[in-house]
Chain A
Amino acid sequence: MADRADQGFKSGEPLPAALLHRRSTPEELPFKLSSELADAPAMIGQDRAAEAVEFALRIRRKGYNVYALGPPGTGRHSLVQELLRRRAAAESTAPDLCYVNNFADPQRPRQLDLPAGQGAGFAAAMKRLIEELRISLPAAFERDEYRARREVLDQQMKTHSEEGFGGLQQRAEAKGIALIRTPMGLALAPQRDGKVMSPDDFQALPEEERKRFQTDLETAQGELEAVMRQVPQWEREHRDAVRGLNRDTTGFAVAGLVGEPRNTYADLPDLLDYLDAVERDIKENVDDFLPQPQQAPEPGGPPIPPAAQAAVEDMRYRRYQVNVIVDNGGRQGAPVVYEDNPTYQNLVGRVEHLARFGALITDFNLIQAGALHRANGGYLILDAERLIAGGYGWAALKRGLQSEEIRIESIEQALSLASTVTLQPEPIALDVKVVLVGSPLLYYLLSQHDEDFAELFKIAADFDDRVARSTDATMLYARAIATIVRRDHLRAFDRDAVARVIEHAARLAEDSERLSTSMRAIHELLQEADQLAADAAKEVVGATEVQGALDAQVRRSDRIYRRMQEEIARRTIRIENSGEVVGQINGLSVISLGALAFGNPTRITAQVRMGRGEVVDIEREVQLGGPLHSKGVLILSGFLGGRFGATRPLSLHASLVFEQSYGGVDGDSASAAELFALLSALAEVPIKQCFAVTGSVDQHGVIQAIGGINEKIEGFFDVCRAGGLTGEQGIIFPASNVKHLMLRADVVAATAEGKFRIIPMETIDQGLQLLTGVATAITDGKIAARLDGFAAKAAALARAASGSTL
């Protein structure tokens, strides 16, 4: 028997009760109530992850984004958010981001940065400016000064016309020629007595007079054509002069009003440049500010509603608005943004459209920010699984991080699927640190298959699911419990309750020397225990409530488990726990259903006959056995061959099966039990059915550790207890699993009373001796003799077969 005195036990001998469930001692928890304890400083057991995140926050270089990997419930989000917020609070606040019209190219809106909180003020200032101009510009054009100047220009035009045409008319009339208005223009004609001459009257004139008329008409005609040719020039000169007058009038009115925002934002050159553009545009489009003729309804049609008229008018001024897409006013420090739905548009923003008069229209006012905008200058937290699953969000994020800019475009544009003209807002420089929170599997998949991932996410913050159960860690855990109790306004927990919770944390870690860092499960336990205390009208939560909450959690989930135990008790499922049987043993597996994992005893049987050396795994043959189970069977075959096949042929055919098992099996934790059954069948030595066995075996017959040891032991214990504990029943399991034991109190009690045995083993030989009560040498001898017999018979049959064919 192996001596594990340093660990407090001997292999092959029943464990003392003290080793079945490690309790928290009063020395480890020197307090009475959780309210005495200060808050825990940080997440427990996540020093590695915290160091990684803090380093990533300090290094301000491209690509040093973070992937926080770990099991859910280990505080990835909480720790990351706390560290980011702490750091962000000391950093400067990010600027406001705005989009404004690009007057030179409205399809490409301009982007403006303003100091935090000033965006809204600038937008309001522009709105006020336009409202003022809508009043002051019409007033400027109504003033006497403008009218007078305009009158002068109009009069100039009129004078040109009158001097030109009027002068011509007078000169012509002095020669008896009338200037006539025709439907299309003007004409000259000889007249008499105020009437144009008829052809007959004209022909009746003396020849000299006719010639004189014709000469004068030619001359007047030439003058008329010359004057007419000048009209377009006069009109152009008039238009230019009016335009110049309007520009000057507008410029004077606008300059005065634009001066106020110019002064306010004098230290922002981009804004001043924009205001210059605004001023130029207003001067060029002053008509938009002047009263427009009311649109006439169609004949017979309904009148146009005033609201619709107003809407059309308001559209004219939209181009002077300011779209503040990110307003950091009132914020202290850099932004920390968590986007819980990281789709493409939610990350990079979108350009929305309005339906107007049967068409979809858009402008810079309809640009909406995405999470990258909101987090710009700070930090962005994303769920990795949702990001990858969320439709092009991952590609957009990578693109942004690589190019260090945010480009707002639709997915169709990004994929070159759209050819319609749409907005192309000016890209915004991106300065953000991204933290992805996700599973380890996704991290490794991305590392393996995505070339960009390693470039962009250089820091992995690896969250552990457990921490060593040292005295310091135990105290820290107690403080973490106290922190949750205080934060959630729960009743104070007494020392025993805290101790029980900590022991449950060890049970969750499946290790008496470790504590689980999955605080989600602990959080739920604390809340449920608090409720039970409330139900019992207690002021303080004690260990009874904690245990009650644990028991209730099991009860809520154990319907299937109870059904299985019932069917075992009713012998529908045959599990023997007394007597001896050759080639049969109780194996143990774990079934996980929802929130509960439970042990499932299974009868394993072995049959042997003469054959060609095969060990058949029936589960694998019918595709109910997974690869790990198959590996286990092959390993035990290797042991068999190594132990008994070195000098003789293994002329056997063996088959192994999990009896009454109709679902899949995997893992190698039953390989030791299967080997015991096989050896029993070969040696024809019976196995005591009062035991159940779990453990993995290697090719040298050494027993190896397995998982789920607590559930397996408790599963068989419940079966034995249902039929009455005899004191003979027990579990034989790997010695290397002793440190993982955190068994239920009733199991510990029964063991302490000698009603149940829990026995560690190191080797196959040790285990077989415990199971059969027969010395290894005897069993090996029997097996060898049996195998020799098979070999001799096989040889004889072979000889007989070859002899008969001659």
Chain B
Amino acid sequence: MTVRIERVVVALDAVSENRAAIDTAVRLASRWHARLHGVFVEDDDLLRLANLPFARQVSLGVGVETLTPQQAERQLRAFAEQARRDIAAAARQQNVDWSFDVVRGAAAAGITAAAATDFIVAGTATRPIGGHFRIECRWWSAIAPATSSFLLSSRMWDRHGAVVALVHDREPAAERLLDAAAQLAEAGGGRLTVICPSELAEDEAFVAWLGERLAGYSVPVEIDLAPAEPGEVIGRIIDLDCRLLAITANDAHAKPEQLRNLIARAACDVVVIR
């Protein structure tokens, strides 16, 4: 990234699978010598529900029970404390500075208040009910309004597989994308694959520009041609054993529905670079 990252902000709540996000965030913080900052968002939907007189929750363990504001507060505090401990433990292992905050309010507002020198990491899935059913994770709605680059982490940090960057031009956003992708590839110790339209790949100037942008990184780079059909990009990403896909915020795949589809099919993490 052309902007030096000072904080890696990891978005946490009481219903998401937080471990993958914490794991990815702490490793990036360690790589970039940045501080790790955990933000636990207390869901105000839950608090509003708890204040309704007929609020009840159903669980596999207990069955039906009344949900009071006090209970909701207690549960949120408990999960926040667990998240804080997880952040602390991860930071200790990787020897990074850390901080932790609890905010109340809409997830988007909580996370999108991040600074330009922040890098946001969030999970992609809530904890399942009965092993399979998941309510949609709130972080999807945080992507669009976010002002910082945003990484959606679906699995624990994995050194296997490639970082794939979808590059469409040589605009500043693409430069930032390449920087970020190269850094993430270096952090993971894997290769960087740049998927670009064939006309760019055949353009010597583009290749030279690519070389200049990546000159400072010790990561193997290869160029792959984007399929003619846009719908086939996901298949190509799967074929490349992609573990992390890097796209710009204005990429067509950056829309929430596209991202969901991509992550579900490719089973990879996605970073949206602003």
Question: 16 A–B contact pairs at CB < 8 A?
Answer: A157-B131, A180-B135, A181-B15, A182-B59, A182-B72, A183-B78, A183-B79, A184-B62, A187-B58, A189-B48, A198-B51, A199-B48, A224-B58, A231-B60, A234-B130, A235-B130
CA distance A459 to B117 in the complex (A): 103
Q: From A218, which residue of chain B is reached at the shortest CB distance?
A: B54
Whether the pair A195, B54 counts as a contact (CB closer than 8 A) is: no
Whether the pair A217, B54 counts as a contact (CB closer than 8 A) is: yes
**Quick one: which of B56-93 are within 8 Å of A by CB?**
56-64, 67, 72, 75-76, 78-79, 89, 93
Whether the pair B129, A182 counts as a contact (CB closer than 8 A) is: no
**Quick one: which of A175-199 are within 8 Å of B by CB?**
178-190, 195-199
How does the 8 Å CB contact mask read for A739-765 relative to B, with 1 for contact and 0 for none?
Answer: 000000000000000000000000000
The 5 closest A-B pairs by CB, nearest first: A185-B59, A161-B133, A231-B130, A181-B135, A161-B132
Residues of B close to A178: CB separation below 8 A: 45
A85 CB, nearest partner CB in chain B, Å: 68
Residues of A close to B52: CB separation below 8 A: 189-190, 197, 199, 202
Residue from A169, A197, A228 within 8 A of B63 (CB atoms): A228
Q: Is the CB of A574 closer than 8 A to any CB of chain B?
A: no
Whether the pair A165, B129 counts as a contact (CB closer than 8 A) is: yes
CA distance A234 to B128 in the complex (A): 14
Residues of A close to B130: CB separation below 8 A: 161, 165, 231, 234-235
A160 CB, nearest partner CB in chain B, Å: 8
CA distance A224 to B52 in the complex (A): 18
How does the 8 Å CB contact mask read for A153-177 relative to B, with 1 for contact and 0 for none?
Answer: 0000110111011100100000000
Residues of B close to A202: CB separation below 8 A: 52
**Quick one: which of B127-146 are within 8 Å of A by CB?**
127, 129-135
Q: Is the CB of B49 closer than 8 A to any CB of chain A?
A: yes
Whether the pair A186, B58 counts as a contact (CB closer than 8 A) is: yes
Residues of A close to B15: CB separation below 8 A: 181-183
Given A180-B135, A183-B75, A196-B46, output 7 extra A-B contacts at Cβ < 8 Å. A161-B129, A181-B129, A186-B59, A196-B45, A202-B52, A225-B64, A228-B59
**Quick one: which of B218-265 are within 8 Å of A by CB?**
none
Residues of B close to A235: CB separation below 8 A: 130-131
CA distance A597 to B129 in the complex (A): 101
Please list the residues of chain B having a beta carbon within 8 angstroms of any beta carbon in chain A: 14-15, 45-46, 48-49, 51-64, 67, 72, 75-76, 78-79, 89, 93, 126-127, 129-135
Residues of A close to B93: CB separation below 8 A: 299
B116 CB, nearest partner CB in chain A, Å: 28
B164 CB, nearest partner CB in chain A, Å: 26
CA distance A544 to B48 in the complex (A): 125
CA distance A122 to B78 in the complex (A): 59
Q: Is the CB of A553 closer than 8 A to any CB of chain B?
A: no
CA distance A228 to B56 in the complex (A): 14
Residues of B close to A199: CB separation below 8 A: 48, 51-53
Residues of A close to B51: CB separation below 8 A: 198-199
Residues of A close to B72: CB separation below 8 A: 182
Whether the pair B133, A162 counts as a contact (CB closer than 8 A) is: yes
Whether the pair A185, B129 counts as a contact (CB closer than 8 A) is: yes
Whether the pair B135, A185 counts as a contact (CB closer than 8 A) is: no
A714 CB, nearest partner CB in chain B, Å: 98
Q: Is the CB of A483 closer than 8 A to any CB of chain B?
A: no
Whether the pair A162, B46 counts as a contact (CB closer than 8 A) is: no
Residues of B close to A78: CB separation below 8 A: none
Residues of B close to A228: CB separation below 8 A: 58-60, 63, 129
CA distance A181 to B128 in the complex (A): 9
B259 CB, nearest partner CB in chain A, Å: 19
Which of A164, A186, A217, A232 is most buried by chain B, counting CB atoms within 10 A of its CB?
A186
How does the 8 Å CB contact mask read for A489-520 relative to B, with 1 for contact and 0 for none?
Answer: 00000000000000000000000000000000
Q: Is the CB of A25 closer than 8 A to any CB of chain B?
A: no
Whether the pair A184, B63 counts as a contact (CB closer than 8 A) is: no
Whether the pair B132, A162 counts as a contact (CB closer than 8 A) is: yes
Whether the pair A187, B67 counts as a contact (CB closer than 8 A) is: yes
Q: Is the CB of A321 closer than 8 A to any CB of chain B?
A: no
A201 CB, nearest partner CB in chain B, Å: 8
CA distance A225 to B63 in the complex (A): 7
Residues of B close to A217: CB separation below 8 A: 54
Whether the pair B59, A197 counts as a contact (CB closer than 8 A) is: no
Q: From B74, which residue of chain A is reached at the shortest CB distance?
A: A183
CA distance A202 to B49 in the complex (A): 11
Whether the pair A186, B45 counts as a contact (CB closer than 8 A) is: no
Residue from B54, B60, B131 within 8 A of A185 (CB atoms): B60
Whether the pair A164, B54 counts as a contact (CB closer than 8 A) is: no
Given A181-B15, A181-B126, A225-B64; A186-B57 close (CB under 8 Å): yes
Given A186-B58, A232-B60; A157-B132 close (CB under 8 Å): yes
A221 CB, nearest partner CB in chain B, Å: 6
Residues of B close to A578: CB separation below 8 A: none
B191 CB, nearest partner CB in chain A, Å: 25
B60 CB, nearest partner CB in chain A, Å: 6
Which of B48, B62, B64, B131 is most buried by chain A, counting CB atoms within 10 A of its CB?
B48
Q: From A224, which residue of chain B is reached at the shortest CB distance?
A: B58
Q: From A157, which residue of chain B is reached at the shortest CB distance?
A: B132
CA distance A225 to B75 in the complex (A): 21
Whether the pair A187, B54 counts as a contact (CB closer than 8 A) is: no
Residues of B close to A158: CB separation below 8 A: 132-133
CA distance A186 to B60 in the complex (A): 9
**Quick one: which of A122-157 are within 8 Å of B by CB?**
157
A764 CB, nearest partner CB in chain B, Å: 112
Q: From B46, which residue of chain A is reached at the shortest CB distance?
A: A182
Given A196-B48, A199-B53; A231-B129 close (CB under 8 Å): yes
Residues of B close to A183: CB separation below 8 A: 14-15, 46, 75-76, 78-79
Whether the pair A182, B133 counts as a contact (CB closer than 8 A) is: no
Residue from A157, A164, A179 within 8 A of B135 (CB atoms): A179
Which of B49, B57, B133 is most buried by chain A, counting CB atoms within 10 A of its CB?
B133
Given A195-B45, A199-B52; A182-B131 close (CB under 8 Å): no
Which of B55, B61, B132 is most buried by chain A, counting CB atoms within 10 A of its CB?
B132
Whether the pair B63, A187 counts as a contact (CB closer than 8 A) is: no
Residues of A close to B54: CB separation below 8 A: 214, 217
Whether the pair A182, B132 counts as a contact (CB closer than 8 A) is: no
CA distance A160 to B132 in the complex (A): 9
Residue from A161, A197, A221, A232 within 8 A of B48 (CB atoms): A197
A57 CB, nearest partner CB in chain B, Å: 73
Residue from B45, B63, B75, B89 within 8 A of A189 (CB atoms): B45
Residues of A close to B56: CB separation below 8 A: 187-188, 221
B219 CB, nearest partner CB in chain A, Å: 28
Which of A185, A197, A235 is most buried by chain B, counting CB atoms within 10 A of its CB?
A185
Q: From A185, which residue of chain B is reached at the shortest CB distance?
A: B59
Whether the pair A187, B129 counts as a contact (CB closer than 8 A) is: no
Residues of B close to A231: CB separation below 8 A: 60, 129-130
**Quick one: which of A632-648 are within 8 Å of B by CB?**
none
A556 CB, nearest partner CB in chain B, Å: 83
A20 CB, nearest partner CB in chain B, Å: 105
Whether the pair A182, B63 counts as a contact (CB closer than 8 A) is: no
B122 CB, nearest partner CB in chain A, Å: 15
Whether the pair A184, B129 counts as a contact (CB closer than 8 A) is: no
A52 CB, nearest partner CB in chain B, Å: 80
How does the 8 Å CB contact mask read for A692-704 relative to B, with 1 for contact and 0 for none?
Answer: 0000000000000
CA distance A525 to B244 in the complex (A): 95
Whether the pair B55, A189 counts as a contact (CB closer than 8 A) is: yes
Whether the pair B133, A184 counts as a contact (CB closer than 8 A) is: no
